């Protein structure tokens, strides 16, 4: 991210970054996607599988948002306005994990015995 600090945001003329930056990020997205495909190809299991899937996913998402979508150079107020509300999705996910566990427990207790 050396290039990142060298550039001050200048929205008047639009975002100007060297083409090389995009090519490097593009190459990394390819490498990370290949990595997540290999996780499935080699049938990794358990914590290693889920850990690597999440790691590659978050790195890819971070690169796309920060560089391709120029979030790294946006005003901090805009960054917060977009990224902070997204934590609501995580809260919702947490609620639904509890709900799903409860549903599964009910199904196993009352319905699944004959299955």
Partner 1 sequence: MAEQAFSNLQAASHETSGLRSVAADFSSDRQAFKNVPWGKVMMWIFLLSDTFVFGSFLIAYMTARMSTTVPWPNASEVFALTIAGTTLPLILIAIMTFVLISSSGTMAMAVNYGYRRDRRKTAALMLLTALLGATFVGMQAFEWTKLIHEGVRPWENPWGAAQFGSTFFMITGFHGTHVTFGVIFLLIIARKVWRGDFDQERKGFFTSRKGNYEAVEIMGLYWHFVDLVWVFIFAFFYLW
Chain contacts with partner 1 (rule: CB under 8 A): 8-9, 11-17, 19, 22-23, 25-26, 29-30, 33, 36-37, 39-41, 43, 50, 53-54, 56-57, 60-61, 64-65, 67-70, 74-78, 80-82, 85-86, 88-89, 92-93, 96-97, 99-101, 103-104, 107-108, 111-112, 115
Q: How far is the CB of 94 from partner 1 (least distance, A)?
A: 10
Among residues 41, 65, 63, 64, which one has the least CA distance to residue 53? Answer: 41
> Could you tell me if residue 58 is left (phi over 0), alpha (psi between -120 and 50 degrees) or otherwise beta?
alpha
Q: How far is the CB of 61 from partner 1 (least distance, A)?
A: 5
Considering the complex, state which of residue 6 and residue 76 has its C-beta at the smaller distance from partner 1: 76
Among residues 72, 80, 82, 79, which one has the least CA distance to residue 15? Answer: 72
- In whole angstroms, give the CA distance from residue 52 to residue 58: 10
- In whole angstroms, give the CA distance from residue 36 to residue 97: 24
Considering the complex, state which of residue 2 and residue 13 has its C-beta at the smaller distance from partner 1: 13
Alpha carbon of residue 44 to chain centroid: 21
Considering the complex, state which of residue 2 and residue 85 has its C-beta at the smaller distance from partner 1: 85
Q: How far is the CB of 12 from partner 1 (least distance, A)?
A: 7
């Amino acid at each position: 991210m050396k290039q990142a600090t060298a550039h001050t945001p200048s929205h008047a003329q639009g975002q100007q970054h060297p083409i090389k930056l995009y090519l490097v990020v593009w190459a990394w997205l390819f490498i990370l996607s290949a990595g997540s495909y290999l996780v499935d190809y080699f049938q990794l299991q358990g914590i290693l599988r889920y850990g690597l899937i999440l790691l590659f996913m978050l790195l890819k998402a971070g690169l796309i948002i920060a560089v391709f979508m120029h979030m790294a150079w946006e005003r901090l107020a805009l960054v917060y306005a977009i990224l902070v509300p997204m934590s609501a999705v995580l809260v919702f996910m947490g609620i639904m994990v509890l709900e799903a566990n409860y549903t599964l427990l009910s199904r196993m207790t009352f319905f699944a015995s004959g299955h």
